[in-house]
Homo-oligomer: A and B are copies of this chain.
Amino acid sequence: MPTVYVTAPPDAADELAETLVDERLAACVNRFPTTSVYRWEGEVHRDEETVLLAKTTDDAYAGLVERVQELHPYDVPCIERFDESDVLESFATWRTEHVE
């Protein structure tokens, strides 16, 4: 099942997390404050951001990515999918029931 890793400015991240759960694209989203160091147009930048880990299903994954791209303030957002190799069965069931 996909865990989707998204980096966003803190305010946008809060709104993204709420929207993904509200629209049943994710069963839950964990938000983590982060400091990012990155290169943009030749310069090294540092920014306070938020990392979202959105727990979703195979079926909902494409719709979630599309929605994040619509709402995200960056032209090139970090959106990556990681799949677990095992998951507690009751949690997997709960996740499937809370996503459409």
Chain A residues with a Cβ under 8 A of chain B: 2-3, 5, 7, 17-18, 20-22, 24, 27-39, 44, 49, 51, 55, 61, 65, 69, 75-88, 90-91, 94, 98
Residues of B contacting A79 in the complex (Cβ-Cβ under 8 angstroms): 87-88, 91
Provide 14 A-B residue pairs closer than 8 Å at the C-beta atoms, listed in order of the A residue: A2-B86, A3-B5, A5-B84, A21-B44, A30-B34, A31-B37, A32-B32, A32-B33, A77-B88, A77-B91, A79-B91, A80-B86, A81-B87, A82-B84
The count of identical subunits is: 3
Not counting A3-B5, A75-B90, a sample of 20 additional A-B residue pairs whose C-beta atoms are within 8 angstroms of each other reads A2-B85, A3-B80, A21-B37, A21-B39, A28-B78, A29-B36, A32-B33, A32-B34, A32-B51, A38-B98, A55-B78, A61-B86, A76-B91, A79-B91, A80-B86, A80-B91, A81-B85, A81-B87, A82-B82, A82-B85
